[in-house]
Amino acid sequence: MNDDISSLKKRTIWSVISLFLQSGYSAVLGLVANLVLTILLSPTIFGIYITVLSLISVLNYFSDIGLAASLIQKKEITDEDVSTTFTVQQILIITLISLAFFATSSVQHFYQLPKEGVYLFWALLISFFISSLKTIPSIFLERKIQFQKIVLVQMIENSVFYISTIILAVFHFGLLSFAIAVLLRAITGFVVIYSISFWLPTVGISMSSLKKLLSFGVPFQASSFLALFKDDLITLFLGKVLGFQGLGYIGWAKKWAEAPIRIIMDNISRVLFPVIARIQGDKKKVASLVEKILLNQTLLLAPTMIVLVLIMPKLLDLIPKYNKWQPALPLFYLFCISAFLASYSTPFINLFNAMGKVKIPLILMSFWTAANWILTVYLTNLFGFYGFPITQVILALTFVVVVYHAKKMIQINFLGSISKAIISAILTGLVMWALLTYLKTSFPTLSFTILIGGISYLIILRSAFRFNLIKHFRELLFHG
């Protein structure tokens, strides 16, 4: 048993590290691609891409009904479970794609999409189908906590996507840059994952297996379905009400503000769900794991968000043709606040799901969805494109409710886990702000300021809290 726990710890840590490496690699490529695209393309074209991407996200929520999550959450799975999941998923996906193709003219007319926007819509539908074929091989790897193999696939996919997007954008393909790139990414990912985790698709539906899978899957997917209304459909609403330029500003601000969350929190959460599902019977181990997650995410997120807030206005001045995003800067600050606060809900939502308490996330998501729509519509009418980010800040504050419910299940010291990193990050921010105020803005001075900020963060943690950050991560890496 101890060997099993030790092996699980090692696989968990290396899975998280692999995901971070992949995210770091993709972040560099994504940064270059994002700079190229936001320099070469107008906010309007960027808004069209965000809108079409959200349309595909809508289809994604109807494509699974929680069966994939059920396979990950179950302690043991059978061949019938796998074939049932695959068959039901493909029936749903093919039906949705067919309906979406028939609805093309309506979508085009509603959003006034150009011809290239329609091609992008079709390309995303095709890639949606190809990507669905990767689900079962990915689930096998997730159940084994072998995320490093999934990471390899994602790194290759992202390389193909970002490099092809950059090249095509440079050659003035516009929206078609996205269309061609998503097809290349989908085909590449399909080939690579089957070479790593081969599975011969089997078709068949076992009603007894389906019933068991749906008992967890339906409430789980209901939460995801509500997230659809909370996030992606609200994006479609904003695209219609504010226009593509306004949505482009919101999309730019949200993308940059949430970048650390996507890199740090998404990777931790992705591993957290299957790991807690494996140890769900031992609440002390679960509590210890959650506290470590809270500590480590704050150690990374708090200083990263501070750095982003301080350097973004400088980057807008330094990067050629980037001043056009100046109107989105206040939105960016609001999204930074909401993203950081909301990050403290994520580990506990994973906790509830992994422990089989899927009704709690469902109730919370129901509230967030209703509040998101009511506040967004009301505040958008009052404040224009400031309404949506203000709403996100208000909703993010409800993380305290999530923590309250989690404390009923497990004994955790929430404030003790996060306070030292937050205080140190704020003090570090003051040091960096002073430097940026008195130094002339340039790329070398920005790099120097970030370096001094990193050193200050280490020193403050060590002197004020007797916490050695380097030693902490070294022990985490080699000893779990």
Residue 435 within any structural domain of the chain: yes
Task: Compute, in degrees rounded to 10, the torsion defined by CA atoms 117, 120, 121, 125.
Answer: 180
With contact defined as beta carbons under 8 Å apart, do 92 and 60 qualify?
no
Q: Is residue 76 part of a domain?
A: no
Which residues of the chain fall short of a pLDDT of 70? 1-28, 30-31, 34-35, 37-38, 40-42, 46, 49-69, 72-75, 147, 216-232, 266-274, 277-281, 475-480
Q: How far apart are CA 16 and CA 362, in angstroms?
A: 27
CB of 212 closer than 8 Å to CB of 203 = no
Beta strand spans in 343-403 (E): none
Q: What is the pLDDT of residues 116-125, one digit of tens each?
A: 888 888 888 8
Cβ proximity of 291 and 413 under 8 Å:
yes
Whether 403 is in a domain gets the answer yes
3-state helix, strand, coil in the chain (%, to 5): 85, 0, 15
Q: Long-range contact list for 253-258, CB < 8 A, 24+ apart?
A: 253/328, 253/329, 253/331, 253/332, 253/334, 253/335, 253/389, 254/331, 254/335, 254/389, 255/34, 256/308, 256/312, 256/332, 256/335, 257/308, 257/332, 257/335, 257/336, 257/338, 257/339, 258/335, 258/339
- Classify residue 2: in a domain, yes or no: no
pLDDT score of 55:
61
For residue 213, being part of any structural domain is answered with no
What are the Cα distances from residue 16, in Å, to 42, 69, 433?
36, 19, 32
Measure the CA–CA gap between 218 and 206, rounded to whole angstroms. Answer: 17
- Residue 117 one-letter amino acid: G
> Looking at the domain assignment, is residue 48 inside a domain?
no
Cβ-contact 341, 399 below 8 angstroms: yes
Per-residue DSSP letter, 66: T
Spatial contact of 432 and 449, defined as CB atoms under 8 Å apart = yes
- Domain assignment present for residue 206? The answer is no
Structure tokens at 449: 């300021």
Report the C-alpha gap between 175 and 120 in whole angstroms. Answer: 7
CA–CA gap between residue 383 and residue 282 (Å, rounded): 49
How many whole angstroms separate alpha carbon 22 and alpha carbon 26? 6
Total domains in the chain come to 1
Distance from C-alpha of 131 to C-alpha of 56, rounded to nearest angstrom = 12
Alpha helices in 397-468, H assignment, sequence order? 399-407, 414-438, 443-465
Residue 389, domain member (yes or no): yes
| Residue 413, helix vs strand vs coil | coil
Could you give the C-alpha distances from 350 to 61, 64, 118, 271, 308, in angstroms and in order? Answer: 18, 18, 36, 10, 27
**The pLDDT of residue 455:** 94
Structural domain harbouring 378: 258-480
**Residues 6 or more apart whose Cβ sits within 8 Å of residue 396:** 337, 338, 339, 340, 341, 342, 345
